Structure formats: C-alpha cells, structure tokens
Structure 1
C-alpha cells in the first residue's frame, strides 16, 4: 500500500513524465542516427503506412460484416467491390468538374503571374512614397517569396523526376490492405505467440488498446479533413472565388499537417484572390479563419480530442518535438505516437500496480 498523499494516479503521472524525459534525452543523443535511418526507410515504408491507414478505415466495416456471419474474406471482397464502385461514382460525378477547374487554372497561370508582376512593378515605381524601413521590409519579403517559389519549383521538378519508383511502390497498397484485413486475426495470434504464455493475455489486451487508439485517431483525422474540405468548398462558393473545388481539396489534404497545414492550404486561394482584389483577399482570409476556428474549437475536439483523451499541452509538445526530429513527417505522426505511448504507459503502470496490490 502507498501513503495517502501518494496515490496510484500520482505514480502514473510520475512514471509518465520520467519516461518522456528519458525518451527526450535518448532522442537528443540519437537524433543524427534517427534522421539518417528515417531518410532511408521512409520511401520503402510509406506504402505500408498508407496501407495501415486504409486498413484502419475499413477494418470496422469488416468486423461488422464478420459479426453478421460473413467470413473475413467475403467481407473484404464485398467492401473492395463497394469501394471501387463508390470511387468510380465519385470520379464520374466530380472529376470532370475538377479537371475543368484544373485546366482553367493552368491556362490562367501566366495571366496570374503577369498580374503579380504588374503589382510588383507598381510598387517599385512608387516605392519612394514609403519610408525606408518599410521599403526594406517589403523588398526583403518579396525576396523571400521569390526564393521560396524557386525552391518549391525545383523541389517539385526533382520530385517528378523521381516519382516513377514511388508510384510503382504504391501499386502494392491494395494487396497489402487486402491481406491485412483478411488475415488480421492470424497476424495477431502469431505476434502473441512470440511472448511467454504468462504475458500473452496482457499483451493481447495491450495490442487491442493500441489498435483502438490508432483506429480512433486515423478515422477521426480523415473525418476532420473531409469536414474541413466541405466547409471550405461551401465558403469558397459563397464568396464566388474561382476554382472552389480545387482549392477546397487542397485545404482538406493539407489539414492533416498540424499548424502548417491551414497556412499551406490557404496560400493558393490567397494567391488567386490577390489577382482579383483586396476585398477578395479579405473574403478568403475570413473563410479560412472561420473554418479553422470551427476545426480547432468544435470539429477536432469532438471527433479526435474526446476519443484520445490527450491534453492540448502534451499534443503541442510532441508536435514541436516531432517537427524537430523528422520535419513534416514528424508533425504528422507525433500525435499517434503519443497516443500509443500513453496506452503503453497506462498499461504497464496498471499491470505492476495490480501485482503489488
């Protein structure tokens, strides 16, 4: 037994904080090694990460059909057929409109660049009306924007040059997902047999708790991105900006990146708005601010926050740490890793507390 002031909850918090400190010290020492390893394996493992995400989205449906009496093979085949039909219907319904907007945007890129160039030339023709400090700030900002655009184009062209092997790697995704869904129980049983018999029940419980936490995060994050995309599309249609479907899709995709995602997603809309009028820029800002406020204060807390039971400060901390260690990928995977770490910590503490009692 423990003194009255030292409760089970206090011990959990103490161990949790100690483990975080130990992990931080280890990561700080191993950062060069981890960065090198991550750069090597991320290309090979990315298709498997995508497969795991898709499997988490589809597994609840497979379980429901399996409980109804279907074999897992039949359930998986049924879901594949329905998913393919659904994707085909979405393509028929929305892809023509998307292609038209993408084509129009590509055709108007020269005009947009010309409008931007005219705006810059107008500034330089009238630069003397600004104080010298303001001139310096504006010109420094323009230089950074130009440098950023040049770097982005260079990176994009480089990515296109190396994209064929990556595309080929993603061909395996449907097959990996199929076997993950069909043989999930077999894989689970195999992993459990690797542990001594006296620990198998606890390990099975741990794996299922981790599975639940990751499943909640993946399904919740996808749902949030879809809702944000729909709200952005509605907002862009209301303010009548060009290419609303294309711009809303960019917002939905980039929303998966914490903090930076909303900025990246709003940038193309702001660029187009800048070629229309200052009023359109304000309208685009208002739409994105409203959507992000709803996402941060209503949508994400309701869909993700309540399921993972993670404190906002811990999320901010691991996002900063993940960004430092692995950049963009660190930002994306920091929260699910934290969720898994919390489950493991709680499980270990609970197990040893029960043994002592």
Structure 2
C-alpha cells in the first residue's frame, strides 16, 4: 500500500506539470491566433472600409494647413535660430530686461525666417515662369519650321520607288484625319467635362494657396512658442509612461530629430549649392534656359541616388529641342557635376547623417517612392533611417539582456549559440572580425554605444 501511494504521489506532479505545459501552449496558440485576427481586421479596416478611408481623407484635408505650418516651422527653425542668436547678442547690452531682449530677438528672428521664405519663393517664381514661357514660345516658333523642313526633305528625296513616298503620305493623311475626328467626336462633346475639371483644378489651386498662407501663420505661432510645446510634450510623455520608458522615448525622439533634421537641412543646402554651380556652368557653356535648367537640377538633387537621373531627363529634352550640341555639353557637365557632388560636396555637408549603407538608401527610395511618389523619394531615406535606428537599438537591447554580443561581424561566421555557456560557436577557429564603420553595423549596437548604461 505504501509503495502504491508513493507511485501515485509521483504520478500526480507529473500529470499536473504536463497539464500546465499544455495550458501554456494553448495560451500561446490562442494569443497568436487573436493577434493574427486583430492584424487582419486592422488592415481590413484601413484598406477596405470605405467609411474609414473617407473619414481619414476628410481629417487630413482639414488638418492640411496645420501640417503645412508644422513642416514650414521645422524647415525654417534653423534660419530663425540663426537670426535670433545674432540679434540677441546685439540687443542684450542695449535693453534693460534680458527677457524683453529674448522676446524681441525671437520676434525678429521669426520675421527674418518668413522673409527668407518669401525671398526663396520669389526667386523660384522669377526664375521658372519667364524661362518656361520663353521655352514654350521658342518651341512654338521653331516647331512648324522644323516640321516643314522635314516634309520638304521627304519630298526632295528620290527613293527610286514611289511606294515609300506614297506610304508616308498615306500615314500623314491618316494622322491628320485621326486628329480631326478626335477633335470633332471626342474633344467637343466632352468640352463640359473638361471645363468642369479645369474649374475643379482652379478651385483646388486656390485652396492650396489659402492653406499655404494659413500654414505660414501656423508656422509663425509654432516658432514663437516652440519651447512651450516641447515642454508640454515631455510633460504628457512622463505623465503617461514610467520614467524609464519616458527617457527611452525622449532619447528616440532626440536622435530621430538629429537624423531627420540633419539630412533634410543638409540636403537642401547641398541642392542649393549644386543649383548655383549648375547655373554658373550653364552660363559658361551658353546652355539655353540656364536658369530653368539650374532650378530643375537643384530641386531634383534633393532626391538621393536617383535625383541626378530624374533632373537630367527633362533638362536634356528641353535643351535638345533648341540645340542638340548644347544638350551634349549639358549631359557631360551634369555627369561631372554629380560626381563632384557625390564625392566632395555631399559628404562634406551631410557626412554620415543617416547611418545607412548605399543598399538601404536605394531600398528606402524605391519603397517610399513607389508608395508616396515624389514626397516619398525625398523623405523616404530619413524616415527609414529613423526606423533603422530604432530597430537597431531594440535588437541591441535584446541581445544585451541575453548576454550576447551586439557586433554584426561576430555573427557572420557563427553556426549556433551554446545554450549552456551562452556564447557564439563557430565551425572553425574564429579569425579577427572585420572592422566596419557605423554604416555597416546592421541591427546591432552602433560604435561607442556598447558601454552605455542599459535603458
């Protein structure tokens, strides 16, 4: 009896332990299933539910002036700080109250930043509009003559067989008939539709101008009270989160601002320098529409990697119509200019502000450009750099908790992790790891961060 009771006592704990493991796996399975279903429902609501999409579009349309204002305030903040710092040095000794001097310097700095914005917009309009008008007029003047010369050349050629000439004449006749029929049967009956679309476009343009003006007002208010907004944001974060989590969020936001702001402001400055150099070079080479070409090259240079190609295509088409030989000169000049920018000017201004390798830069541009167009191509790199930084910090934190190394080079030739010793194992004796800069350290701890305190 005693022996049987002992065996029963041994069986009961084993049975209980088995049930606990079973319940554990059931809970894990249910949690995974519920998470998967919630993800499907979430994406279904976003992508399929029309009411959500319409509500989101209405919210974004209503908040457009605020979004424009926040973007303008962020871009103009360095300009405002430049004016403010120099004006504060001038006003401090000349005013009785330091607080009054700071307020005056801030107001004058904001005014200077807004005036700087208007000057840039005015210069762009003055550079683009006359050049575009002149190009259209020149094209309209030269195109009929070029077409007539082509027709005369065809008529003057002796092909030996009149079938070729007749065939060309038949095609030109058919093309003329097609254009005439399209004008009568398609364009005229849909004139009301075109007028409605044009009216809608004009209304949208006017709304855009009004939103931009309101956005400038919002930017003025944001720049005037940016310290107060920063303090309120931090207060909300620490009221909701624990001090440890709040510190992590603040550090992430600070680093994101450093990456994003450094890239955007640096790229704008780099593009402005490239635009000025391009204009000077076009004047020396006597390229037609030098101002328009320089503006297009400078603006498209904001896009990393593909910017030079995007800017070269319209400028070459614009110049080749007027002078093919000058288009060849422009092509050679653009290639040289982009090499100088990529190897000298760009690295000096931007440095390694994003911490991304060339592969991830191209990856970010392709994905973001495919999803959000031109804006995605411009902002895709800094946004992905921020995401990359956050993922890298999370991976490094998880590895440190497991007492595993964070350097990427140590994982290249490893085969497995020894569960008992908790160390990386290699098939053969490990050679010295290859040294790499920060851009090559993927999903690990950045250089200089290994000895930081765990957050």
Q: Do these two structures clear the TM 0.5 threshold for a shared fold by scoring above it?
A: yes
Q: Does 1:295 align with 2:325?
A: no
Q: CA–CA distance in 1 between the matches of 2:223 and 2:263?
A: 18
Flag the structure with larger Rg.
Answer: 2
Q: Compared with structure 1, are the counterparts of its residues 62 and 171 closer, same or farther at alpha carbon in structure 2 (3 Å cutoff)?
A: closer
CA contact (8 A) 1:206 1:347 kept: no
CA contact (8 A) 1:62 1:75 kept: no
Question: Cα deviations across residues 110-143 of structure 1 (Å, max 9, x unaligned)?
Answer: 12443664587589778x89xxxxxxxxxxxxxx
Q: CA–CA distance in 1 between the matches of 2:154 and 2:47?
A: 47
Could you say which structure has the greater relative contact order, defined with CA pairs below 8 angstroms and 6 or more residues apart?
1
Structure 2 residues not aligned, in runs of 5+: 1-38, 90-97, 161-193, 404-455
CA apart distance, 1:98? 6.2
Q: CA–CA distance in 2 between the matches of 1:347 and 1:232?
A: 41
Question: Cα deviations across residues 270-308 of structure 1 (Å, max 9, x unaligned)?
Answer: 234323333112111112212222223333333234222
Name the structure where helix makes up a greater proportion of residues.
1
Which one of the candidate residues 158, 162, 184 is aligned to 2:226? 184
CA apart distance, 1:58? 3.2
Q: Which moved more, 1:273-282 or 1:332-341?
A: 273-282
Q: Pairwise mapping of residues 65-76 of structure 1 onto structure 2 (< 5 A)?
A: 65=84, 73-76=103-106
Q: CA–CA distance in 2 between the matches of 1:60 and 1:172?
A: 21
Q: Compared with structure 1, are the counterparts of its residues 258 and 201 closer, same or farther at alpha carbon in structure 2 (3 Å cutoff)?
A: closer
TM-score after normalising by structure 2:
0.55
Q: CA–CA distance in 1 between the matches of 2:390 and 2:75?
A: 22
Match of 2:261 in 1: 215
Residue-pair matches, total:
309
Q: Compared with structure 1, are the counterparts of its residues 328 and 106 closer, same or farther at alpha carbon in structure 2 (3 Å cutoff)?
A: same
Q: Does 1:56 align with 2:102?
A: no
Q: Which moved more, 1:260-269 or 1:83-92?
A: 83-92
CA apart distance, 1:161? 5.8
Q: Compared with structure 1, are the counterparts of its residues 84 and 279 closer, same or farther at alpha carbon in structure 2 (3 Å cutoff)?
A: same
TM-score after normalising by structure 1:
0.68
CA apart distance, 1:352? 5.5
CA apart distance, 1:165? 1.4
CA apart distance, 1:354? 6.7
Which one of the candidate residues 359, 372, 386 is aligned to 1:326? 372
Q: Does 1:224 align with 2:270?
A: yes
Q: Does 1:233 align with 2:279?
A: yes
Question: Cα deviations across residues 16-53 of structure 1 (Å, max 9, x unaligned)?
Answer: xxxxxxxxxx99x9599569959937766665554444
